[in-house]
Amino acid sequence: MPKHPLSKLNRYRLLYVSAIVVFVLDQLTKAWIFNNLALDSYYPPEAITVIDGFFYIVHIGNEGAAWGMLSGYGGLLALFALITLFAIYKLRHSLELYRKPMQWAFGLLIGGILGNMIDRLIHGHVIDFLDFHFPVNIPWIMPTGRYPSFNIADCGIVIGTLIYLILSFRSESAQKAARKNI
């Protein structure tokens, strides 16, 4: 008996749902920022003070990747995003996307990749708006105490990657333990 056409979609439901949630939240928040704050609104009164001296809502156009690295290479970064999405699709079996926790991790990652890629294609830069200031200076990360601004897509990418790494290490540890017991 042939499988129902929706059975494949259903198998990866958690991946699709988490990717869509991250993508939609990211795009809705960026649309609000785009329509309500001037570009390069780093400081009050243009920025929105959430917690004075600590947390602000800003509108920054990041033309690079994390921390502005590769600034000016938006087209290349968008191409890299497409290649990454294609690789995830092609490697879905070896990435164990049939496992629910892996679907969650890669759903967050995919939603974030799509959110930032769309920004690069539409605006020519990624809209970053979450801006934190810390009372410590770490020379190689935050020499001014100001953490680089980020967005919901970035959160999805970082959290998805961390979950994937944790799951991978746990899986590897379990495999080593199983080999010892043989």
**Which residues on adjacent β-strands are paired with residue 59?**
41
- Nearest one of 66, 71, 96 to 157, comparing CA atoms: 66
CA angle 132, 138, 139 (to 5 degrees): 120
| CB-CB contact of 139 with 60 (8 Å) | no
Contacts (Cβ under 8 Å, ≥6 apart) of 177: none
**Which residues on adjacent β-strands are paired with residue 51?**
55
Query: Running DSSP on this structure, what letter comes out for residue 182?
Result: -
CA angle 137, 53, 130 (to 5 degrees): 85
Q: Identify whether 52 is a catalytic site residue.
A: no
Tell me the CA end-to-end span of the chain in Å, nearest whole number: 39
- Nearest one of 182, 104, 123, 119 to 152, comparing CA atoms: 119
Q: Identify whether 154 is a catalytic site residue.
A: yes
Catalytic residue among 26, 119, 128, 131: 128
Active site residues: 128, 154
